[in-house]
Amino acid sequence: MSGIDLPSPVRWYSCSVPLLRITCLSHDTEQLVARLTDDARASEVTVVSGVGRPEGTDLIFADVPRSSIDSLLERLPERESAEGLRVSVEPSERLFPVSADSEADHEAVVWAQVDQDMSEVGRLSLINVLLVVIAAMIAAVGIKEDQLLLIVGAMALSPDYFPIADTCLSVVRRDWHRMRRGLRTLSVCYAAGVLSAFALTEVLSTFDIISAGDSPSRQLILFISEPDALSVVVAVLAGIAGLSPSRFPMRAASSECSSP
């Protein structure tokens, strides 16, 4: 179309830089800003004074490298003495410019975020127990009928990965209270799963829906029903692969820098 000047093509760059959102009392603002700029290497620090209601707290926004977030959180006051202090980390996409430091920082792990994600998803709840029970019952049918598809589906359905990861993370951090909570979650879920699988097979046998005489040879599931040394090797490799979601939690799944 004549008479319209179209802009020249612009090459945009995209990189996820965590946005730190802090609410604090006004007399703590300068100290927090100093920590953000000096200790956490924050950029684009913005302070909005007196916006919180009814306390009249200040609001601070800052782009913080992923590698600096955990150390910054460790330097914050204890919960009992941190009156009016609220901290949250939100994903944000910086389109332009992207510095070399940002590109090198995208694989850093925000362990505080991993810790919260594992705790939220892996806690003992009715829905988690129900999913483990249903998964165990599906797996029981898969073992009786020699159906790998049912076993794989049960593995995908069961949420036990998260309490296992939460328990292991608690051991590494020496948080024994949380470790006991994770073990309690696993104990309740697995006990409910075993009992429900046993009850289902007994009911199916009672009504002649399945019978021992008609059961297949189970050659396809020997790797699972009769584990050996090779099964342990595969389990270790699967556990290593399972750490990948911990490095890139669900809320930070877009952490990788890219350029079109």
pLDDT higher at 68 or 250: 68
Q: Return the pLDDT at 80.
A: 54
Q: Return the pLDDT at 117.
A: 77
pLDDT higher at 201 or 254: 201
| Cα–Cα distance, 184 to 89 (Å, whole number) | 30
pLDDT digits (tens, 9 = 90+) for 132-171: 999 999 999 988 888 888 988 998 899 988 888 888 888 8
| Cα–Cα distance, 242 to 254 (Å, whole number) | 18
When pLDDT is cut at 50, 70 and 90, the band that residue 255 belongs to is: very low
The two three-digit tokens of residue 121, written as one number: 């998803």
CB atoms within 10 A of CB 63: 19
Its pTM stands at 0.64
pLDDT higher at 206 or 55: 206
Q: Torsions phi, psi of 256, nearest 5? A: -80, 135
Q: Return the pLDDT at 121.
A: 81
Cα-to-chain-centroid distance, residue 171? 17
Q: What is the mean pLDDT of residues 176-182?
A: 90
When pLDDT is cut at 50, 70 and 90, the band that residue 228 belongs to is: confident
CB atoms within 10 A of CB 154: 23
Whether the pLDDT of residue 131 is over 90: the answer is yes
pLDDT digits (tens, 9 = 90+) for 2-52: 555 545 554 555 566 788 889 988 888 888 888 888 877 887 888 998 887
pLDDT higher at 102 or 82: 82
Q: What is the mean pLDDT of residues 83-108?
A: 69
Q: What is the mean pLDDT of residues 185-203?
A: 94
- CATH 3.30.70.120 in the chain is located at 15-108
Give the CATH fold of the 15-108 domain: Alpha-Beta Plaits (3.30.70)
